[in-house]
Structure 1
Amino acid sequence: MNKSGKLLMLGLIVGALGQNILANEKMYVVKEKGFSGEIKLEVISDDDKIKDIKLVSHNETSHIMSRAFPILKERILKANSPIVDSVSGATYTSTAIKRGVNEVYKKMGKKYGRITPRTKAPEQPIAYLETVKTDLVIVGGGPAGLAAAIAAKESGIKNVILIEKLDILSGNGKYDMNFYDLINSDAQKKAGVEDSIEKFVKDNSNSMDTPERTMAQAKGAWVLDKWLRNMGIELNHYYGKRGHMAEKDAYGGEEVQDGLEKRAKELGIDIRTSTKGLDFIMENGKVSGVKVQNKNNFYDIKSTGVVITTGGFSSNKELLKKYVPGSENFQTSNQIGATGDFLPIFEKYNMEVKNLDVLNIFPFIISHTRDLTGGGDGFILVNKMGKRFMSESISKDKRVEAANKMLEQPDSQVFYIYDQNLYESSYRLQKHTAKGYHVKADTLEELGEKLGINSEILEETILTYNKGVKGKIKDPYTEKPFKREFKLEGPFYGVQVESAVHMTRGGVVANEKTEVLYEDGKIVPGLFAAGEVTNSSAAYSAAVIFGRIAGENAAKYINNK
């Protein structure tokens, strides 16, 4: 093609994409491999700088990309260089984008060398900044922290600062498919389900939570749906056992966290990302602020009240080894910020911590993406030899044992195998298959080849399974019949899985008002806590509930000063 033909082609492409390219500008399309697949970018440059970066397509987790890409784009354009800090919580995605942009810089004649996950911006000198004063500071920008900030603002607190050590908000909540333990919701009512605070308390009473905290959670769960809907957050799909999603084919976590972030920004909350809490500021036995770090900038935030919502320690191998020896060998499905930063600080000031040895192990995550996976009964677990090695029915008290059993298999490879019936009953399985995380095959032989499993033994394993379902033999691992028949006709599905530390249950002790307690049982004046940082059996919805309670009670504390 001659020069004029090339220009004509470029003009057609630009027109199709709706671009307005100036005479001295060039457009490049680059592709790089991200965490979950190919990322395609469109980069506009002039003679000496990148003018714009557009995301054309990707296979990354949507709620990560939507938060990370604008931040990284701004950093690259401001520096006019790919040598910038990755977005914390999205390192591999950031690296792919920086590599793609670096290819354009090469075409421009600028050489920045090889881009790796360790590539970062030049380090700035250490600086100690002036003290900042506010009414309330919240440490941690996950579900509990955002709920606390919103509730405090809605309770009349004028000056609220929320700090988050990562570059993006919403903690592990943004990954969640399910929003459990929600009662009196519009979706529950539409389904004809009658529920009550009393039923909730009966079902959720346990040894870790005081009766008062369980009652507070129940009352909070009763009014939570209305509070969320007033922010435009709709959980319209009810699927039993108090479980909710945004829609039948839409995760609950994205809906909730997108809505909380939007509301926090509407309220004008001072949100400071890349800002880590280092220590409490203590004055006469009460908490009156926090010491913080933003990159190499250090400063104090003085406040009347503090809410701590920093999460658990699922991503801290040292703490896992210390409190639950052996669990450090497991993956985690939690986000990278769950490192238990304030545990030593609670201990430093003699604040009570409990149950640090209690973990929530999730039975199956996808080995190469860490997504939670699975879809109910009707699957088998096999190793790469195609053999079953344990029962698929894993009770909560057997999850650590099962996780170790999976690691003991040849090359620590275990596969979750299921059929069309289970696929059709589970949106999560459908989504993962559509994204290419799970493989699909018409025959067991094809499935074995795609997953690297011995196909002959796999087929024998499933034949034995089916005999058990029909009552001809019992499951050797349970001495009971198998739960249901595994259809021998295809299509079949499978994915490599392992178990993971999903949550830590123990933490600092807080009462039903979310007030933190000293070891002697006295209240720590000025300090409130919610979410996974606290000692609690509850999870996602409870983080939002107790975050809201923390914000409201912190507001009362501040207004009484």
Structure 2
Amino acid sequence: MKKIICLVTMASLLLAGCSTTNKGAKTSQGTGHGYGGEIKVELSTEDGKITNINVVSNHETSVVYDRALPILTERIIEAQSPVVDSVSGATFTSFGVKKAVAEAMKEAGIGEYEISFDTQGPAVEKKDLEEVKTQLVVVGGGPAGLSAAIEAKQNGVEEVIVIEKLDILSGNGKFDMNFYDLINSEAQKANGIEDSAEALVADLKAEGAWDTDERLMAQAEGEMELDQWLRAMGINLNYNYGGRGHMAEADAYAGEHIQAKMEEKVNELGIDVRTGTKGLDLIMENGKATGVKVECKEGTYDIKADAVIMATGGFSNNKELLAKYAPGTERLETSNQMGTTGDFIPVFEANDIKLEKMDNIRIFPNIISGRRDLTGGGSTIYVNKNGERFIDETKGGLTLGNAVLDQEGGAFYIYDQDLYEKSYRLQKHNNLGYHVQADTLEELAKKLGINAENLVKTIETANKAVDGEIADPFREKALGDKIDKGPYYGVKFEAGVHMTKGGVAANEKAEVLNNDDQVIEGLYAAGEVANSSAAYSASVVFGRISGEEAAKYILK
């Protein structure tokens, strides 16, 4: 069976750089500006041909940059030009690298190119491509989609295709520091923590979980065995910081470790992964899901399958849908990855697929302005450009989001050395240069461009409230700790849409339901695309469940 592979390799390009002592060999340098700042490259050429691109320095988000650079490098060397398509999912990084390469090529005397953010490679005439047949197609290459594909393969499904519309795999999970709600883990046991599925369900309900009892128990039972499943792939979440929160290590985020190892496992199992391939529509026949219509650079084609798993994420990056379902949230920026555009929501509506709680949006209180990174980590104060507090810092959601946006010149998150020492996230962001550090509050204010005199007064007032000398002017209970131990830190922040919680209605088997609450045969959903009060770890749990249930259906 002939297959149309719309896939750019994710393997690193290991072309050897040429020595400048060889005949015709040269090196030149150029700079560009990416998502995190300046990108500097060294270009190796021989006889006027690019042989290697070495990025000398950059400040990009590593989990994006590390996946995007090999693809972009391959495109540029193949084209012998920076006029190539950007890597979707890494457009800012791509622009910076292409700009730097263009400058280095000019220095080397092998061409001059004007690079803009919209620069792309030559257009390819799209065609109707040959239909592909498989047993299972998974739409979305994030943690839910990859865990679904892995589980299906491990349960005997031989032919599995994963499509991902971006050029790089992974959803929002790759950015996450924490892996919440994991129970019965080796790290928990090492900390002497005894836990159970029943205790997790009770706690989730107490926290406001709205999932059915059956889904909550399915999640909890899945969490009980998840650690062992992950460890079998080399995913070791060794740091449990109390309760059910986990990181890879005390100084290593969970998300990037999980995603990298899942991608390794997908490759090991020989799963057919097609990046740069966007799902357009469901193929429905006699009420059953029998495939998806897709589009890649070369054209469109049908993937016919015995079952379909939807793992397309939410709609945090679609302001039109945010305005439709949760008015006001469209005003906020998002911390979510750029693929969360809710492409299939119109498809679900057209196929009588039930959507639930679409107005339920998770707003994270602190994301770094101009970036997607979640920040914060404890007792702090929020001040405006004038160095004055403007809100009770315990407020969240749209109340906080609107209050921050209403501050002329933005808002700033201020903390001291005590909080810095308690939070790895804050330490990491300072090491990356995302936050500002100063020995005194006056110096910090100057660096942040805010009123120094007012900032000092604001901190003094807050500290007096902590000591009980006065009432806190903004909240019933004062800050937990004083801000009085230098050095001091600050960052411009805003509240952001972190994830959409509503979505497709699915039962405890991850089977998708129609508007009459009937199971749609052959169709499953996992991750943020589904209505659920749960988050990251549950995406993996229900990814596994969807893969296992799809395998049963396919092989019955």
Deviations 1:33-72 (A, max 9, x none): 3211232222111233211112233221111111000000
Give the corresponding residue for 2:546: 550
SS of match in other structure, 2:136: strand
- Residue by residue over 1:155-192, the C-alpha shift from the partner in whole angstroms, topping out at 9 and shown as x without a partner, is 01000000000001111111110000100001000011
Aligned partner of 1:420 in structure 2 is 417
Deviation string for 1:127-178 (max 9, x for gaps)?
0001000000000000100000000110010000000000011111111100
SS in 2 for 1:27: strand
**Which residue does the alignment assign to 1:383?**
384
In the alignment, does 2:521 pair up with 1:525? yes
Pick from 228, 244, 247 the counterpart of residue 245 of structure 1.
Answer: 247
Aligned match for 2:456, one of 443, 455, 459: 459
CA distance in 1: counterparts of 2:391 and 2:549, whole angstroms: 48
After TM superposition, give the deviation of residue 326 of structure 1 in Å. Answer: 1.3
Look up the match of 1:5: none
- Residue 29 of structure 1 corresponds to 29
| Alignment-derived partner of residue 286 in structure 2 | 284
Say if 2:441 and 2:488, in contact at 8 Å, map to a contact too: yes
> How much does 1:483 deviate?
2.0
**Segment of structure 1 superposing worse, 206-215 or 350-359:** 206-215
For residues 297-334 of structure 1, give each alpha carbon's deviation from its aligned partner in whole angstroms, at most 9, with x where no partner exists. 10000000100000000000100011111111100000
Distance 2:171 2:112 in 1: 33
Amino acid at match of 1:392: E
Q: Provide closer, same or farther for how the CA distance between residues 307 and 26 of structure 1 changes in structure 2, counting only shifts above 3 A.
A: same
Please, which moves more after superposition, 80-89 or 110-119? Answer: 110-119
Is the CA contact 1:82–1:112 (under 8 Å) kept in the aligned structure 2? Answer: no
Residue 329 of structure 2 corresponds to which residue in structure 1? 327
Shift of 1:521: 1.1
- Give the corresponding residue for 2:106: 106
- Counterpart CA distance in 2 for 1:481 and 1:527 is 51
1:538 to 534, 537, 544: 534
Quote the residue 1:157 is aligned against.
157
TM-score, structure 2 normalization: 0.95
The verdict on how the C-alpha distance between 1:136 and 1:479 changes in structure 2, with shifts beyond 3 A counting, is: same
For 1:407, which of 405, 408, 413 is the aligned residue? 405
- C-alpha distance in 2, partners of 1:478/1:105? 58
Q: How does 1:3-402 map to 2 (within 5 A)?
A: 20-21=19-20, 22-205=22-205, 206=208, 208-377=210-379, 379-394=380-395, 398-402=396-400
Structure 2: segments with no counterpart, 5+ residues: 1-15
Deviates more, 1:473-482 or 1:268-277: 473-482
Secondary structure, counterpart of 2:227 in structure 1: helix
Kindly indicate whether the alpha-carbon contact (under 8 Å) linking 2:25 and 2:45 is maintained by their aligned counterparts in 1.
yes
Q: Between 31-40 and 257-266, report the one with greater CA deviation.
A: 31-40
Q: Secondary structure of the residue that 2:508 maps to in structure 1?
A: coil
- The structural deviation recorded for 1:110 is 4.3
Deviation at 1:481, TM superposition (A): 3.1
Residue 3 of structure 1 corresponds to: none
Secondary structure of residue in 2 paired with 1:83: coil
Q: Any conservation in 1 of the 2:163–2:275 contact (CA below 8 Å)? A: yes
Tell me by how many angstroms 1:448 deviates: 0.7
- With 292-301 and 266-275 compared, the bigger mean Cα shift is at 292-301
Give the total of aligned pairs. Answer: 538
Which amino acid letter does the alignment assign opposite residue 401 of structure 1?
A: T
Whole-Å separation in 2 of the counterparts to 1:314 and 1:114: 33
Post-superposition CA distance 1:71-130 (Å, at most 9, x none)? 000111111111101111111111111111112322344445321111001111120001
Conservation of the 8 A alpha-carbon contact between 1:473 and 1:481: no
Q: Which residue of 2 aligns with 1:505?
A: 501
- Give the AA of the match of 2:529: V
SS in 2 for 1:410: coil
Over aligned residues, Cα RMSD in angstroms? 1.3
Summarize deviations over 1:269-313 as a string: whole Å, max 9, x none. Answer: 000000000001111110100000002410000000100000000
Name the structure 2 match of 1:12. Answer: none
Identical positions, percent: 57
Q: Distance in 1 between matches of 2:478 and 2:553?
A: 58
Give the letter for the 2:264 counterpart.
K
Residues 332-357 of structure 1: CA deviation (Å, up to 9, x unaligned): 00011000011111110101100000
| 1:46 counterpart letter in structure 2 | E
* Counterpart Cα distance in 2 of 1:249 and 1:429: 11
Q: Which moves more between the two structures, 523-532 or 46-55?
A: 46-55
CA contact (8 A) 2:18 2:25 kept: no
State the distance in 2 between where 1:309 and 1:527 align: 11
The runs of 5 or more residues in structure 1 that have no matched partner are 1-16
The 1:348/1:315 distance shift into structure 2, 3 A limit, reads same
Aligned-pair distance for 1:241? 2.8
Letter in 1 for 2:392: S
Residue 207 of structure 1 deviates from its aligned partner by 5.2
Contact 1:208 1:535 in 2 (8 A): no
Residue in 1 aligned with 2:6?
none
Contact 2:209 2:534 in 1 (8 A): no
What whole-Å deviation, never above 9, does each CA across 1:334-389 have from its counterpart, x for those lacking one? 01100001111111010110000000000000002221000122x11000000001
Tell me the equivalent position of 1:470: 467
Q: Which amino acid aligns with 1:87?
A: V
Per the TM alignment, residue 391 of structure 1 is displaced from its structure 2 partner at its CA by: 1.1
